[in-house]
Amino acid sequence: MKLSKYILLGSIISLLIIIGCKKQSSFEEKRDDVLSELNLAIENAEEQGKYKCCIEPACTMCYLGHWLWKDGSCYCDDMIKEGKMDKVCPECKKGIEEGLCSSTEPCDLESGENFRAIDE
Ligand SMILES: [Zn+2]
Ligand SMILES: [Zn+2]
């Protein structure tokens, strides 16, 4: 399993970071630590099948509950498959614009009802 290797590697790295920065850690180190923890949590949710994000790397705002799903899940990819682009989170829309789409369906922002491409 490629993913579990990454998770193992990630936990070792975050453990080292925690040990290394136990005393005085700068803001950047703290932030990196938090972000790597967050990414690990998202990878876990992906493995459980409740984080179906449409971009690679996955969005974080859905996990944090800043969008439609409040239990640390993301179903942007399902929304794209159903053509409900207005339910795809802003972070993913931005990612799609940057060409990060990893959905099996084409990420077509134009099909959304409430969304117009910014640079049009
Ligand atoms: Zn997504
Ligand atoms: Zn999202």
* All structural domains of the chain with their residue ranges: 52-120
Q: Distance from the CA of 99 to the center of ligand 2, in angstroms?
A: 15
User: Ion ligand 2 — residues with CB under 5 Å?
Assistant: 59, 62, 74, 76, 89, 92
* pTM greater than the 0.95 cutoff: no
Place of tokens 């179906």: 52
Residue 111, φ and ψ in degrees, nearest 5? -80, -10
Mean pLDDT by 10 residues, the chain (120 residues): 79 79 79 95 96 95 96 95 93 94 83 47
Bridge partners (DSSP) of residue 78 are none
Task: Report the candidate in 91, 81, 80, 87 with the shortest Cα–Cα distance to residue 42.
Answer: 91
Q: What is the pLDDT of residue 61?
A: 96
Which H or E element spans position 29? helix 27-47
pLDDT number for residue 20:
67
Determine the pLDDT at residue 1.
59
The packing angle between helices 2-20 and 27-47, to 10°, is 160
| CA 6/CA 37 separation, integer angstroms | 13
Q: State in Å: Cα 73 to ligand 2 middle.
A: 8
What distance in angstroms lies between residue 120's CA and the mean position of ligand 1's atoms? 22
Centre of ligand 2 to C-alpha 66, Å, is: 9
Amino acid at 23: K
Q: What is the number of the ligand closest to the CA of 76?
A: 1
